[in-house]
Amino acid sequence: MALLELAGVRIHYGGIEAVKGVDLSVDEGEIVTLIGGNGAGKTTTLKTISGLKHPTTGSIAFRGKRIDALPAHQIVSMGIGHAPEGRRIFGRMTVDENLEMGLYAGGGKKREGGKKAEAAAFERVYALFPVLKERRTQPGGTLSGGQQQMLAIGRALMTRPVVLMLDEPSMGLAPMLVEQIFDIIRDISEQGTTVLLIEQNAHMALSIADRGYVIESGSIVLEDSARELLGNDQVRKAYLGEE
């Protein structure tokens, strides 16, 4: 049984079908990437897993339990974290305050474990992102783009997720920072967190992933190991910029 599984998921915006019968699974411990062009349905898929939207038809199961009708706060509290596209940090709040928001899930109450668990969550994030610790009292809106992306990922990690969903973590970042972010994603995976990654930088995403899916116009058109997708002529031409 997959840790996270989508079966026949269709998603509409009004009369427009944005996602057309997607089947997707993520096993425990994997990094799985979903690649595709703008408007292909990637972000909509993640929003629907998170409960920010609900599928028109189909099912989403986490640890064997249907979650597609649940509200977003319940899904977070079950163990699905989400760092959204565009970072969406709280610009006037400090780094510490932004991270503390990640502790709140399930109707606004802090997760179980008390102060010790909260301290461990902060310690983990600051170990992964030392620059955030240096700027813990600084307003999030004054951070650089790369630091804001680190803060968005850190805030999602504060929910102590079983599955961490990342939407375009390299968007707008300099190449050196992109490499740093992907190294950190690999570290997060090695620490035991399962990762579902959406990324337009297909080469970087596939270089760290175990498996990948290619989505076009709301439909999955390819599914394979990351290594096989890196060598696939269709992927190389459409997403890796190779002839």
At residue 107, the pLDDT reads 38
pLDDT the model gives residue 106: 36
Q: Closest by alpha carbon to 163, among 60, 21, 239, 69?
A: 60
The pLDDT assigned to 1 comes to: 84
CATH topology of domain 4-238: Rossmann fold (3.40.50)
Q: What is the mean pLDDT of each run of 10 residues along the chain (243 residues)?
A: 96 95 97 94 96 97 97 94 86 93 60 74 94 95 91 94 94 87 95 94 94 96 96 88 64
Collapse the DSSP code of 5 into the 3-class scheme (helix H, G, I; strand E, B; otherwise coil) and give the result: strand
Token code pair at residue 177: 């920072």
- CA Rg, the chain, in Å? 17
pTM of the model: 0.92
Q: Which residue has the tokens 């009708």?
A: 69
Domain limits of the chain?
4-238
pLDDT score recorded for residue 85? 84
Is residue 168 a contact partner of residue 198, using CB atoms and an 8 Å limit?
yes
In sequence order, what DSSP letters do the residues of 79-144 get, joined into one string?
A: TEEEE-TT----TTSBHHHHHHHTTEETTTEEPTTHHHHHHHHHHHHHHH-HHHHHTTTSBGGGS-
How far is Cα 242 from Cα 233, in angstroms, rounded to an integer? 9
CA distance linking residue 56 with residue 10, whole number of Å: 6
| pLDDT for position 136 | 94
pLDDT attached to residue 239: 83
CB 210 within 8 A of CB 230: no
